[in-house]
Amino acid sequence: MSEYIRNQILGIADNFKALASMAGDIEQVARICTDTLKSGNKIMFCGNGGSAADSQHLAAELVGRYKLNRPAMNALALTVDTSILTAVGNDYGYETVFSRQLEGVGRPGDLLVGLSTSGNSRNIVLAMELARRMGVRTVALTGRGGGEMKEVAEFCIAVPSDATNNIQEMHIAVGHLVCELVEREIYGG
């Protein structure tokens, strides 16, 4: 069992070494987030399952704090309101749970960040298509290849893995880096 654990950890380390080659892409997403917040707009996150949890996590880092004690930043996760999710899912279909919310709270200049390990989550793809029509910027965090989200998002970081757990590990690392860069750019430190 120890050998298995060791090999898993080394595999994770290899994934992160490959992710380092995407530093420029991560910087670009941090700039998009910073520009969104500096212009008085908000960042909205969405995802399913573990990616929903990551969406909430990243929104919390911006509203609360990541490393710096500073004012709250304008961010929210579209994954948290069970009444909206279940009502929209029941009345309109699960594929609309994010686009329906976006229609209500999104404004031109806002940013929608969609997290999906496959890049093919229909509810996120539909939200990104609507976002583009509304003048809401879009960033996708996906696994290798990017799936359909790569085609509809303004910008996509397709992390170098096909394994769901490894993709999610890299998504949260990318998200943490972005949060830190945004904090530093807006509030110093």
Question: Which residues are CB-neighbours of 164 under 8 A, at least 6 positions away?
Answer: 50, 117, 143
Q: Where does the pLDDT of residue 170 fall: very low under 50, low under 70, confident under 90, or very high at 90 and above? A: very high
Strand partners for 77: 45
Residue 34: the pLDDT is 98
d(CA 51, CA 67): 22
Residue 108: the pLDDT is 98
- Going through 64-159 in order, the beta strands assigned E by DSSP cover 75-77, 111-115, 137-142, 155-158
Q: The pTM is what?
A: 0.96
> How many separate domains does the chain show?
1
Q: Where does the pLDDT of residue 168 fall: very low under 50, low under 70, confident under 90, or very high at 90 and above? A: very high
Average pLDDT, rounded, for the chain: 97
Domain of 87 in residue numbering reads as 2-187
Q: What is the CATH number of the domain that holds 153?
A: 3.40.50.10490
Residue 117: the pLDDT is 98
Question: Which residues are CB-neighbours of 34 under 8 A, at least 6 positions away?
Answer: 181, 182, 185, 186
Residue 63: the pLDDT is 98
Interval 110-123: pLDDT, tens: 999 999 999 999 99
Is 80 exceeded by the pLDDT of residue 189? no
Interval 146-164: pLDDT, tens: 999 999 999 999 999 999 9
Q: Is 166 within 8 Å of 12 (Cβ atoms)?
A: yes
d(CA 138, CA 153): 5
